[in-house]
């Protein structure tokens, strides 16, 4: 297929989520082939390109903003994307990742790496048991994407059904604003 104008570019990003929204995207099934003809997917967990591209038309973001790395990525996404879509409940509300927000971070670490450790560390080993090298610092709260950057469109759902993702993508490509709550909602 030859086109005179370049195809719109799309990126998808996976922050603090379970990848379920990307699984739902994969559930587009044969429509993925149609989609590949309509857009250029520049960056995604299913694409090799590791760096976020310099400019993208539409970026779908799955997951809450939980770590400093998530925040860093979110700011880059915003700066380089024309349209940012919060994909699924974690990006829209914080959802399950935000359930840790009722607890203090030190209590969380103690629970995960000390109390529930297979071989609980001795008090002397306690500090060593906590992961600090090679992992991004956890922010005090996991938050919805729109609490850190401007989000242009919200598609709630846990996960949003494939049909809802297809509807939103095709509406955007047609230059229309999708009515997202007609096809998905919190928790559904």
Partner 1 sequence: MNTFTDVEIESITLRIDDKDVSCRKGETVLQVARENGIDIPTLCYMEGLTVWGGCRLCMVEIAGFPKLQAACATVCTEGMNISTNSPRLENYRRIIVELLLAERNHVCSVCVSNGHCELQAMAIKLGIDHVRFAYRFPHLDVDNSHDRMRMDHNRCILCSRCVRVCAEIEGAHTKDIKGRGVLAAIIHDLDQNWGESETCTSCGKCVNICPTGALTHRGTAVGEMTKKTMFLPYLTLMREAQP
DSSP state string for 87-127? ESHHHHH-TGGGGGGGS-HHHHHIIIIIIT-SSPPPTTTHH
Start-end of H helices in the chain: 20-26, 31-38, 68-80, 89-93, 105-109, 126-129, 162-173
Least distance (Å) between residue 123 CB and partner 1:
27
Least distance (Å) between residue 27 CB and partner 1:
17
Least distance (Å) between residue 89 CB and partner 1:
6
SS3 14: strand
Place of tokens 């082939």: 33
Measured from the CB atom, the residue of 125 and 147 that comes closer to partner 1 is 147
Measured from the CB atom, the residue of 50 and 150 that comes closer to partner 1 is 150
Binding site for partner 1 (CB under 8 A): 86, 89, 92-96, 98-99, 101-103, 141, 143-144, 146-147, 151, 154-156, 158, 179-181, 185-188
Least distance (Å) between residue 137 CB and partner 1:
19
Measured from the CB atom, the residue of 12 and 143 that comes closer to partner 1 is 143
């Amino acid at each position: 297929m030859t086109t005179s104008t370049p195809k719109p570019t799309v990126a998808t990003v996976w922050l603090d989520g379970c990848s379920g929204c990307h699984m739902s995207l994969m559930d587009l099934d044969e429509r993925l082939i149609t989609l590949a003809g309509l857009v250029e997917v520049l960056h995604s967990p299913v694409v090799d390109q590791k760096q976020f591209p310099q400019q993208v038309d539409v970026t779908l973001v799955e997951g809450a903003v939980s770590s400093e790395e998530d925040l860093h990525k979110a700011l880059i996404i915003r700066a380089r994307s024309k349209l940012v879509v919060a994909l699924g409940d974690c990006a829209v509300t914080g959802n399950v990742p935000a359930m840790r927000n009722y607890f203090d971070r030190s209590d969380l670490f103690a629970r995960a790496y000390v109390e529930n450790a297979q071989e609980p560390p001795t008090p002397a080993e306690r500090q060593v048991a906590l992961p600090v090298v090679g992992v991004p610092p956890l922010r005090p709260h996991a938050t919805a994407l729109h609490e850190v950057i401007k989000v242009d469109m919200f598609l709630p759902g846990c996960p949003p059904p494939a049909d809802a993702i297809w509807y939103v993508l095709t509406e955007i490509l047609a230059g229309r604003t999708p009515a997202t709550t007609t096809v998905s909602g919190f928790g559904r």
